[in-house]
Amino acid sequence: MPTAAVKPLGKRRSCPICGKPIAAAHRPFCSGRCADVDLSRWLGGRYRIATEEEPDIEDLAEALRAEGGQEFD
Ligand SMILES: [Zn+2]
């Protein structure tokens, strides 16, 4: 049975956000910007799920601070 259809995440060779070549410093992304985009998507999905149970705003804020301390307007 062929197993090639399932690509291990560690074998990605392009940024999952924009498809550009991955930068070693930002794996598995091409840049910190795309890492931020992915983080935002991930947090967004988690936030929607969380609202069905209970608010988790403090965790979100803490994750954003830990991510690099960038200012988000
Ligand atoms: Zn990218």
- Ligand 1 geometric centre to CA of 56 (Å): 28
- Ligand 1 geometric centre to CA of 41 (Å): 14
- Ligand 1 geometric centre to CA of 48 (Å): 24
Distance from chain centroid for Cα 13: 16
pLDDT in the model for residue 65: 83
Interval 23-60: pLDDT, tens: 999 999 999 999 999 999 888 876 555 555 555 667 77
Of the pLDDT bands very low, low, confident and very high (cuts 50, 70, 90), residue 14 is very high
Q: Is the pLDDT of residue 70 over 60?
A: no
Are the CB atoms for 48 and 42 separated by under 8 Å? no
Are the CB atoms for 8 and 1 separated by under 8 Å? no
- pTM, 2 dp: 0.46
pLDDT in the model for residue 54: 58
pLDDT in the model for residue 44: 83
- Ligand 1 geometric centre to CA of 25 (Å): 12
Domain boundaries, the chain: 38-67
Q: How far apart are CA 60 and CA 21, in angstroms?
A: 29
- Ligand 1 geometric centre to CA of 14 (Å): 8
Burial of residue 15 (number of CB atoms within 10 Å: 0-12, 13-18, 19+): buried
